[in-house]
Amino acid sequence: MEGGAYGAGKAGGAFDPHTLVRQPHTILRVVSWVFSIVVFGSIVNEGYLNSNSGGEKFCIYNRNPNACSYGVAVGVLAFLTCLLYLALDVYFPQISSVKDRKKAVLSDIGVSAFWAFLWFVGFCFLANQWQVSKPKDNPMNEGTDAARAAITFSFFSIFTWSLTAALAVRRFKDLTFQEEYSTLFPASAQP
The strand pair at 48-50 and 57-59 is best described as antiparallel
CA distances (Å), origin 77, targets 32, 70, 83: 12, 10, 10
Quick check: 116 and 122 in contact, CB under 8 A? Answer: no
Question: Radius of gyration over alpha carbons of the chain, in Å?
Answer: 21
Nearest-angstrom CA–CA distance, 150 and 129: 12
pTM: 0.84
Q: What is the pLDDT along the chain (191 residues), one digit of tens a residue?
A: 444 444 444 455 667 888 889 999 999 999 999 999 999 999 999 988 877 776 788 899 998 999 999 999 999 999 999 999 999 999 988 888 888 988 999 999 999 999 999 999 999 999 999 999 988 877 788 888 999 999 999 999 999 999 999 999 999 988 877 766 666 676 665 54
Q: What is the DSSP string of 37-74?
A: HHHHHHHHHHSEEE-SSSS-EEETTTT-HHHHHHHHHH
- What residue spans define the domains of the chain? 25-177
Q: Domain 25-177 belongs to what architecture?
A: Up-down Bundle (1.20)
